[in-house]
Amino acid sequence: MINQTTLAKSASLSGVGLHSGQTVKITLRPAEIGTGIVFHRQTAAGTVSIAASAENVVDTRLATVLGKGDVRVSTVEHLLAALTARGVDNLHIDIDGDEVPIMDGSAAPFLLAIDQAGLCMLPASRRFLAIRRPVSVIDGEKRVSIIPSRFFRVTFDIAFDHPRIALQRRTVRVSPETFRRDLAPARTFGFLRDVEQLKAVGLARGGSLENAIVVDDQNILNPEGLRYQDEFVRHKILDAIGDLSLIGYPILGHVRAFKAGHDINHKLVNKVLSCPDCWQLLEFSDDDLRVAMQMNSLTFGSRMALSEA
Protein backbone atom coordinates (compact mmCIF):
# COMPACT_ATOMS: atom_id res chain seq x y z
CA MET A 1 0.00 0.00 0.00
CA ILE A 2 1.23 3.51 -0.77
CA ASN A 3 -1.56 5.31 1.11
CA GLN A 4 -2.09 5.53 4.84
CA THR A 5 -4.88 3.37 6.24
CA THR A 6 -7.17 3.00 9.20
CA LEU A 7 -10.01 0.60 10.01
CA ALA A 8 -13.26 0.91 8.08
CA LYS A 9 -15.26 0.49 11.31
CA SER A 10 -14.73 -0.15 15.01
CA ALA A 11 -14.02 -3.57 16.49
CA SER A 12 -13.97 -4.76 20.11
CA LEU A 13 -12.34 -7.68 21.90
CA SER A 14 -12.20 -8.77 25.52
CA GLY A 15 -10.18 -11.29 27.48
CA VAL A 16 -8.00 -11.69 30.55
CA GLY A 17 -4.79 -9.82 31.20
CA LEU A 18 -1.84 -12.18 31.36
CA HIS A 19 -0.47 -10.82 34.63
CA SER A 20 -3.50 -9.29 36.38
CA GLY A 21 -5.96 -12.04 35.51
CA GLN A 22 -8.60 -9.30 35.19
CA THR A 23 -10.99 -9.08 32.25
CA VAL A 24 -9.96 -6.32 29.87
CA LYS A 25 -11.87 -4.85 26.93
CA ILE A 26 -10.30 -3.06 24.00
CA THR A 27 -12.02 -1.20 21.18
CA LEU A 28 -10.22 -0.42 17.95
CA ARG A 29 -11.55 2.80 16.37
CA PRO A 30 -10.78 4.47 13.02
CA ALA A 31 -8.40 7.44 13.18
CA GLU A 32 -7.48 10.36 10.94
CA ILE A 33 -4.40 10.85 8.76
CA GLY A 34 -1.19 11.16 10.75
CA THR A 35 -2.68 9.93 14.06
CA GLY A 36 -0.50 6.85 14.36
CA ILE A 37 -1.47 4.12 16.83
CA VAL A 38 -2.70 5.60 20.12
CA PHE A 39 -3.88 3.78 23.25
CA HIS A 40 -6.51 5.54 25.36
CA ARG A 41 -6.30 4.09 28.87
CA GLN A 42 -9.49 4.55 30.86
CA THR A 43 -8.77 5.21 34.54
CA ALA A 44 -10.78 6.40 37.53
CA ALA A 45 -9.25 9.86 37.06
CA GLY A 46 -10.08 10.01 33.35
CA THR A 47 -8.63 8.91 30.04
CA VAL A 48 -4.87 8.98 29.43
CA SER A 49 -3.67 8.80 25.81
CA ILE A 50 -0.38 7.01 25.11
CA ALA A 51 1.06 6.87 21.60
CA ALA A 52 2.59 3.58 20.49
CA SER A 53 6.06 5.01 20.03
CA ALA A 54 9.55 4.17 21.24
CA GLU A 55 9.74 7.17 23.55
CA ASN A 56 6.79 5.83 25.58
CA VAL A 57 8.30 2.39 26.32
CA VAL A 58 8.76 2.12 30.08
CA ASP A 59 9.45 -1.60 30.60
CA THR A 60 10.60 -4.58 28.51
CA ARG A 61 11.27 -7.24 31.13
CA LEU A 62 8.24 -9.53 30.68
CA ALA A 63 6.51 -7.75 27.80
CA THR A 64 6.62 -4.44 25.98
CA VAL A 65 5.00 -1.84 28.22
CA LEU A 66 3.96 1.69 27.25
CA GLY A 67 3.40 4.37 29.83
CA LYS A 68 2.74 8.00 30.65
CA GLY A 69 3.24 9.11 34.22
CA ASP A 70 1.88 6.36 36.46
CA VAL A 71 -0.41 4.92 33.78
CA ARG A 72 0.66 1.76 31.99
CA VAL A 73 -0.49 -0.37 29.05
CA SER A 74 1.32 -3.70 28.99
CA THR A 75 1.75 -6.59 26.53
CA VAL A 76 1.12 -4.47 23.44
CA GLU A 77 3.37 -6.47 21.10
CA HIS A 78 0.88 -9.05 19.73
CA LEU A 79 -1.72 -6.44 18.81
CA LEU A 80 0.92 -4.14 17.31
CA ALA A 81 2.30 -7.03 15.25
CA ALA A 82 -1.13 -7.71 13.75
CA LEU A 83 -1.67 -4.02 12.96
CA THR A 84 1.77 -3.77 11.36
CA ALA A 85 1.34 -6.86 9.22
CA ARG A 86 -2.08 -5.71 8.01
CA GLY A 87 -0.75 -2.24 7.23
CA VAL A 88 -2.84 -0.24 9.70
CA ASP A 89 -1.19 3.18 10.11
CA ASN A 90 -3.73 5.12 12.19
CA LEU A 91 -5.89 3.81 15.02
CA HIS A 92 -7.42 4.71 18.36
CA ILE A 93 -7.37 1.87 20.90
CA ASP A 94 -9.63 2.28 23.93
CA ILE A 95 -8.61 0.01 26.80
CA ASP A 96 -10.16 -0.31 30.27
CA GLY A 97 -7.30 -2.16 31.95
CA ASP A 98 -3.54 -1.94 32.27
CA GLU A 99 -2.67 -4.67 29.79
CA VAL A 100 -3.88 -5.78 26.38
CA PRO A 101 -5.81 -9.06 26.79
CA ILE A 102 -3.65 -12.09 26.07
CA MET A 103 -6.47 -13.85 24.16
CA ASP A 104 -5.08 -17.28 23.12
CA GLY A 105 -1.47 -16.11 23.42
CA SER A 106 -1.13 -15.34 19.72
CA ALA A 107 -1.97 -12.51 17.33
CA ALA A 108 -4.67 -14.47 15.49
CA PRO A 109 -7.67 -13.01 17.42
CA PHE A 110 -6.45 -9.46 16.75
CA LEU A 111 -5.91 -10.24 13.07
CA LEU A 112 -9.44 -11.64 12.83
CA ALA A 113 -10.90 -8.47 14.38
CA ILE A 114 -8.93 -6.31 11.92
CA ASP A 115 -10.06 -8.43 8.98
CA GLN A 116 -13.70 -8.24 10.08
CA ALA A 117 -13.53 -4.45 10.47
CA GLY A 118 -11.80 -4.03 7.11
CA LEU A 119 -9.33 -1.35 6.04
CA CYS A 120 -10.06 2.17 4.84
CA MET A 121 -7.52 3.91 2.61
CA LEU A 122 -6.86 7.53 3.52
CA PRO A 123 -5.96 10.34 1.07
CA ALA A 124 -2.34 10.69 2.18
CA SER A 125 0.77 8.74 1.29
CA ARG A 126 2.48 6.55 3.86
CA ARG A 127 6.16 6.92 4.59
CA PHE A 128 8.53 3.96 4.84
CA LEU A 129 11.72 3.85 6.87
CA ALA A 130 14.31 2.33 4.53
CA ILE A 131 17.53 1.08 6.12
CA ARG A 132 20.59 2.29 4.20
CA ARG A 133 23.40 1.16 6.52
CA PRO A 134 23.50 -1.76 9.00
CA VAL A 135 22.65 -1.13 12.65
CA SER A 136 23.48 -3.71 15.33
CA VAL A 137 23.03 -4.25 19.06
CA ILE A 138 24.86 -6.90 21.08
CA ASP A 139 24.06 -7.73 24.70
CA GLY A 140 26.01 -10.76 25.89
CA GLU A 141 24.76 -13.73 23.86
CA LYS A 142 21.85 -11.72 22.48
CA ARG A 143 22.29 -10.08 19.09
CA VAL A 144 19.99 -8.19 16.77
CA SER A 145 20.75 -6.17 13.66
CA ILE A 146 19.00 -4.65 10.69
CA ILE A 147 20.48 -4.36 7.21
CA PRO A 148 19.23 -2.86 3.93
CA SER A 149 16.52 -4.76 2.07
CA ARG A 150 13.80 -3.95 -0.46
CA PHE A 151 11.29 -5.66 1.87
CA PHE A 152 10.59 -6.09 5.58
CA ARG A 153 12.14 -9.42 6.41
CA VAL A 154 12.95 -11.10 9.75
CA THR A 155 15.42 -13.93 10.36
CA PHE A 156 15.39 -15.28 13.89
CA ASP A 157 17.46 -17.91 15.71
CA ILE A 158 16.64 -19.27 19.15
CA ALA A 159 18.60 -21.72 21.30
CA PHE A 160 17.18 -23.35 24.43
CA ASP A 161 18.59 -26.22 26.43
CA HIS A 162 15.33 -28.14 26.14
CA PRO A 163 14.60 -31.28 24.08
CA ARG A 164 11.38 -29.89 22.58
CA ILE A 165 12.84 -26.51 21.58
CA ALA A 166 16.64 -26.71 21.12
CA LEU A 167 17.82 -24.76 18.04
CA GLN A 168 15.23 -23.21 15.74
CA ARG A 169 15.61 -20.81 12.84
CA ARG A 170 13.14 -19.19 10.47
CA THR A 171 13.12 -16.36 7.93
CA VAL A 172 9.89 -14.59 6.98
CA ARG A 173 9.31 -11.84 4.46
CA VAL A 174 6.53 -10.04 6.30
CA SER A 175 3.30 -9.45 4.39
CA PRO A 176 -0.39 -9.80 5.28
CA GLU A 177 -0.38 -13.26 3.71
CA THR A 178 2.76 -14.62 5.36
CA PHE A 179 1.78 -13.17 8.73
CA ARG A 180 -1.66 -14.78 8.58
CA ARG A 181 -0.34 -18.15 7.43
CA ASP A 182 3.01 -18.47 9.22
CA LEU A 183 3.05 -16.24 12.30
CA ALA A 184 -0.29 -15.01 13.66
CA PRO A 185 -1.36 -18.33 15.27
CA ALA A 186 2.01 -18.86 17.01
CA ARG A 187 1.53 -18.61 20.78
CA THR A 188 3.66 -17.18 23.54
CA PHE A 189 5.49 -19.77 25.62
CA GLY A 190 6.99 -20.22 29.05
CA PHE A 191 8.63 -22.74 31.31
CA LEU A 192 6.57 -24.22 34.13
CA ARG A 193 9.22 -23.35 36.71
CA ASP A 194 9.15 -19.69 35.64
CA VAL A 195 5.34 -19.54 35.63
CA GLU A 196 5.23 -20.86 39.18
CA GLN A 197 7.77 -18.24 40.31
CA LEU A 198 5.83 -15.43 38.62
CA LYS A 199 2.56 -16.48 40.23
CA ALA A 200 4.29 -16.59 43.61
CA VAL A 201 5.00 -12.85 43.31
CA GLY A 202 1.54 -11.94 42.02
CA LEU A 203 2.24 -12.05 38.28
CA ALA A 204 0.98 -14.33 35.48
CA ARG A 205 -2.37 -14.61 37.27
CA GLY A 206 -4.14 -14.88 33.92
CA GLY A 207 -1.71 -17.36 32.39
CA SER A 208 -2.93 -20.85 31.56
CA LEU A 209 -2.70 -23.61 28.99
CA GLU A 210 -5.50 -21.76 27.19
CA ASN A 211 -3.27 -18.81 26.34
CA ALA A 212 0.33 -20.04 26.33
CA ILE A 213 2.52 -22.99 25.50
CA VAL A 214 3.89 -24.31 28.80
CA VAL A 215 6.82 -26.70 28.96
CA ASP A 216 8.30 -28.54 31.93
CA ASP A 217 11.82 -29.95 31.92
CA GLN A 218 10.98 -32.49 29.22
CA ASN A 219 7.56 -32.05 27.65
CA ILE A 220 4.94 -29.68 26.32
CA LEU A 221 2.05 -29.66 28.79
CA ASN A 222 -0.66 -28.40 26.39
CA PRO A 223 -2.82 -31.43 25.54
CA GLU A 224 -3.36 -30.25 21.96
CA GLY A 225 0.38 -29.93 21.34
CA LEU A 226 1.93 -27.37 18.99
CA ARG A 227 0.35 -25.49 16.11
CA TYR A 228 3.69 -25.57 14.23
CA GLN A 229 6.70 -27.75 14.78
CA ASP A 230 8.76 -24.58 15.27
CA GLU A 231 6.04 -22.51 16.96
CA PHE A 232 8.55 -21.12 19.45
CA VAL A 233 10.72 -19.25 16.93
CA ARG A 234 7.66 -18.16 14.95
CA HIS A 235 6.30 -16.45 18.05
CA LYS A 236 9.64 -14.73 18.61
CA ILE A 237 9.37 -13.27 15.09
CA LEU A 238 5.80 -12.15 15.87
CA ASP A 239 7.03 -10.39 19.03
CA ALA A 240 9.84 -8.71 17.09
CA ILE A 241 7.43 -7.33 14.49
CA GLY A 242 5.34 -5.77 17.25
CA ASP A 243 8.34 -4.38 19.12
CA LEU A 244 9.94 -2.92 15.99
CA SER A 245 6.68 -1.23 14.96
CA LEU A 246 7.45 1.31 17.68
CA ILE A 247 10.00 2.79 15.30
CA GLY A 248 6.97 4.66 13.95
CA TYR A 249 7.04 3.74 10.24
CA PRO A 250 6.70 0.62 8.08
CA ILE A 251 10.22 -0.77 7.75
CA LEU A 252 12.14 -1.70 4.63
CA GLY A 253 15.00 -3.73 6.08
CA HIS A 254 16.11 -7.22 7.06
CA VAL A 255 16.15 -7.89 10.80
CA ARG A 256 18.47 -10.67 11.97
CA ALA A 257 18.19 -11.78 15.59
CA PHE A 258 19.79 -14.37 17.84
CA LYS A 259 18.35 -15.11 21.30
CA ALA A 260 16.66 -11.70 21.17
CA GLY A 261 13.74 -10.52 23.28
CA HIS A 262 11.75 -7.38 24.05
CA ASP A 263 14.68 -5.66 25.76
CA ILE A 264 17.19 -5.87 22.94
CA ASN A 265 14.47 -5.30 20.31
CA HIS A 266 13.77 -1.97 21.98
CA LYS A 267 17.48 -1.16 22.10
CA LEU A 268 17.63 -1.71 18.33
CA VAL A 269 14.68 0.63 17.79
CA ASN A 270 16.34 3.34 19.85
CA LYS A 271 19.69 2.88 18.10
CA VAL A 272 18.09 3.11 14.65
CA LEU A 273 16.23 6.29 15.62
CA SER A 274 19.42 7.79 17.03
CA CYS A 275 21.31 7.12 13.75
CA PRO A 276 19.40 9.09 11.09
CA ASP A 277 22.30 8.71 8.67
CA CYS A 278 21.52 4.95 8.56
CA TRP A 279 18.04 5.31 7.07
CA GLN A 280 15.78 7.42 4.88
CA LEU A 281 12.06 8.09 4.85
CA LEU A 282 10.51 7.27 1.49
CA GLU A 283 7.20 7.91 -0.21
CA PHE A 284 6.00 6.14 -3.34
CA SER A 285 3.83 7.63 -6.08
CA ASP A 286 1.18 5.87 -8.15
CA ASP A 287 3.73 5.64 -10.97
CA ASP A 288 6.16 3.88 -8.63
CA LEU A 289 3.47 1.36 -7.72
CA ARG A 290 2.68 0.64 -11.36
CA VAL A 291 6.37 0.05 -12.09
CA ALA A 292 6.67 -2.17 -9.02
CA MET A 293 3.69 -4.25 -10.09
CA GLN A 294 5.17 -4.69 -13.55
CA MET A 295 8.47 -5.83 -12.04
CA ASN A 296 6.72 -7.90 -9.35
CA SER A 297 8.85 -6.18 -6.72
CA LEU A 298 9.29 -2.80 -5.13
CA THR A 299 12.43 -1.09 -6.42
CA PHE A 300 14.26 1.98 -5.30
CA GLY A 301 14.15 3.62 -8.74
CA SER A 302 14.62 7.17 -9.86
CA ARG A 303 10.92 7.94 -9.53
CA MET A 304 11.03 7.37 -5.80
CA ALA A 305 10.05 10.50 -3.85
CA LEU A 306 12.37 11.10 -0.94
CA SER A 307 11.01 12.97 2.07
CA GLU A 308 13.17 14.48 4.76
CA ALA A 309 13.60 12.45 7.94
Rounded to whole angstroms, the Cα distance separating 45 from 15 reads 23
19 is catalytic: no
Q: Judge whether 251 and 129 are in contact, CB under 8 Å.
A: yes
| Pairing of β 46-51 and β 3-7 | unpaired
Write down the catalytic residue from 78, 254, 262, 266: 262
Contact criterion met (CB below 8 Å) for 163 and 276: no
Beta strands in the chain (DSSP E): 3-7, 11-16, 23-30, 37-43, 46-51, 57-59, 65-68, 71-73, 91-95, 119-125, 128-131, 135-139, 142-147, 152-159, 167-173, 189-191, 213-215, 251-258, 279-283, 305-307
Three-state secondary-structure class, residue 144: strand
Residues assigned a catalytic role: 262
